[in-house]
Amino acid sequence: MNSPEGGFPHLHISVASQSLALISAGGEPLFQAPVSTALNGPGEQNGSGCTPRGRHYIRAMVGEGRRQGTVFVARRPTGEIYTPELAARHPERDWILSRILWLCGCESGINRGPGVDSFRRFIYIHGTPDTEPMGEPRSHGCIRMRNTDVIRLYDLVTPGTLVTIEES
């Protein structure tokens, strides 16, 4: 697994500022974007709808080569491309679009293991409709991004990239 100590780029997500930054091994920002974390705030419990804190890594990446706005359900493309008309027909959906970076916790008892496992909670960094606001908590636990931003980020990271989610 990559780590900042090992000289690899890493992601930092701030719940307070609703922002994501890809930081170089030397500490320089390589990419920054606004995000939307959980409406329920930070927290690790299964079923909480909260964004888990702590050290994670990207365990899996989904969506390479897919069109912007590709709709995913259970990490599989549905064959749909998001449109406002599609959204109007399915107002109950929590839209996961364009790319998925599936996170796995690194800290046993905090974000990994029974009752708190980020991977088993299906915590992703993923695209969302452009109508959804960034910079304010609105998700169901995941980290939402603009589609153009998540596609760009996807091309800059690899499985194993460290992700730190902090309240500050």
Q: Taking the domains of the chain in order of start, what are their residue ranges?
A: 4-166
Residue 3: what pLDDT? 46
Q: Which two tokens stand for residue 69?
A: 């706005």
Q: Are strands 162-166 and 10-14 parallel, antiparallel or unpaired?
A: parallel
- pTM, full prediction: 0.94
Q: Using alpha carbons only, how large is the chain's radius of gyration in Å?
A: 15
Q: Which two tokens stand for residue 44?
A: 């690790």
DSSP single-letter state for residue 66:
P
Check if the beta carbon of residue 75 is closer than 8 Å to that of residue 100: yes
Check if the beta carbon of residue 115 is closer than 8 Å to that of residue 104: no
Residue 42: what pLDDT? 98
Per-residue pLDDT tens digits of the chain, which is 168 residues long = 554 455 689 999 999 999 999 999 999 999 999 999 999 999 999 999 999 999 999 999 999 999 999 999 999 999 999 999 999 999 999 999 999 999 999 999 999 999 999 999 999 999 999 999 999 999 999 999 999 999 999 999 999 999 999 999
Is domain 4-166 in CATH 3.40.50.150, yes or no? no
- One-letter amino acid at 28 equals E
